[in-house]
Amino acid sequence: MRRTAPLSLAMIALLGLSACGSGDTGAGGSLQGEGSGADCTIPGPVPVGAALSLTGAAGSYGESQRNGLELAAAHLNEQGGVTYELTVEDDQTDERQGITLFEQFTDDGVSAIIGPTLSTTAFQAQPIAQDAGVPVVAISNTADGITEQGEYIHRVSLTEGQVIPQTVAAVTESEDLENVVVMYSDDDAFTESGYEVFAQALEDEGVEVAETLTFSVADTDFRPLLTEAAKAEPDAVIVSALIEAAIPLVTQAREIGLDVPIVGGNGFNNPQLMTDAGEAAEGVVVGAAWNSAATQNELNTDFLAAYEAEYGKAPDQFAAQAYTGLMTIDAAVRAECSGEPEAIKDGLGTIDGLDTVLGSLTINDARDAEHEAVVQVVTDGEFVALD
């Protein structure tokens, strides 16, 4: 029963949307503005749809993302010239619901779509926007191949392939890594691809891999593997695993006396690691796209203050990426001073060195974002930037 209530609510909301949405299409003329860049003025509000996982397994990410987007919309509308009409809908962490929302948005004639939260949903839903010619900005998807779905699909979130090499390089330098043990679950596509990036990055950095140990995603007892790992006396243990395995793995490593740094992939980038593994999480190194303390610029300071004032808590990476997503769309709109989907798509292609809360952001030819990653280490129960 728990699931039915929000579902039916969402259905009612969707019906309501479709009823009033169809009237808005064709009002395209009002999206053509005058002036350029910061002086650009567009008469009508630019409609932007966001499909986020507000409920279900990824619900905690979706909520941060909604906050980030709404804050960005408020800031942009305050600034004036171009205003945005942001519609946030819940995909319930369900691929089918994601498809329905994308169909809804394209039928309603939005100028751009943000989301969805998870890569698996993105693969299913994005082709709809691609076929309809509506630009998409992915704000949290890290899987390979997201932007390969078509020339309308862009993203501002870094992939594992971008974050991991920067992480490995930073740790190699700070910890003088020479000899490591690599562990990964070999029956999961996400962790296996993470492992491949790690292996390549370690080779590029000239770090020797003493041993590579594999386990299953369902495993929870890692003591035999960790005992093997400890025998190699590594400078660090490199792990590509989901958070479910990461927590017992880290706890048991400390238990058997393996106190070297543990370097994790994106699966480790989760505050649950500190809540559940407690002190054992100290010294775990994880790369990320953003960390509240790491990016020092005026935009970021303002963002932190505004977010805390609005929501009474510090933003996380998902909020920062969502905020950047809408800001990037704004930059694209202003580039051609038009809120039309085609113009936004062209504008996104010109984003180069845009100042964002994530740092200087460029959208490359593959329509993926490039910016500096943040390497974090768990210290006193919190992620702080690695020196």
Q: What is the nearest approach in angstroms of other proteins to the Cβ of residue 124?
A: 20
Q: What residues contact residue 282 under an 8 Å CB cut-off, 6+ apart?
A: 378, 379, 380, 381
DSSP character at residue 38: G
Q: Kindly write down the DSSP assignment for every residue of 364-384, as one continuous string.
A: -TTS-EE---EEEEEETTEEE
Q: In what order do the strands lie in the sheet with 236-240?
A: 208-215, 179-185, 236-240, 262-264, 284-288, 374-379, 382-385
**C-alpha distances out from residue 227 to 58, 221, 337, Å:** 34, 11, 61
Q: What is the nearest approach in angstroms of other proteins to the Cβ of residue 202?
A: 18
Nearer to other proteins, 221 or 233 (CB): 221
Q: What is the nearest approach in angstroms of other proteins to the Cβ of residue 120?
A: 16
Nearer to other proteins, 48 or 181 (CB): 181
Q: What is the nearest approach in angstroms of other proteins to the Cβ of residue 231?
A: 9
Interface ranges with other proteins (CB under 8 A): 57, 186, 213-215, 218, 220-221, 223-225, 227-228, 244, 247-248, 251-252, 255-257, 276, 278
Distance CA 353, CA 363 (A): 8
The residue ranges of DSSP E strands in 46-103, in sequence order, are 46-52, 84-90
Nearer to other proteins, 67 or 252 (CB): 252
Nearer to other proteins, 256 or 366 (CB): 256
Nearer to other proteins, 3 or 96 (CB): 3
CA 270 to chain centre: 12
Q: What is the nearest approach in angstroms of other proteins to the Cβ of residue 103?
A: 28
Nearer to other proteins, 258 or 358 (CB): 258
CA 159 to chain centre: 8
CA-wise closest residue to 141 among 124, 155, 126, 162: 155
Q: What is the nearest approach in angstroms of other proteins to the Cβ of residue 54?
A: 16
Q: What is the nearest approach in angstroms of other proteins to the Cβ of residue 55?
A: 12
Does residue 336 come out as left (phi exceeding 0), alpha (psi in the -120 to 50 range) or beta? alpha
Pairing assessment for the beta strands 284-288 and 374-379 based on DSSP bridges: antiparallel
Nearer to other proteins, 193 or 328 (CB): 193
Stated length of the chain: 387
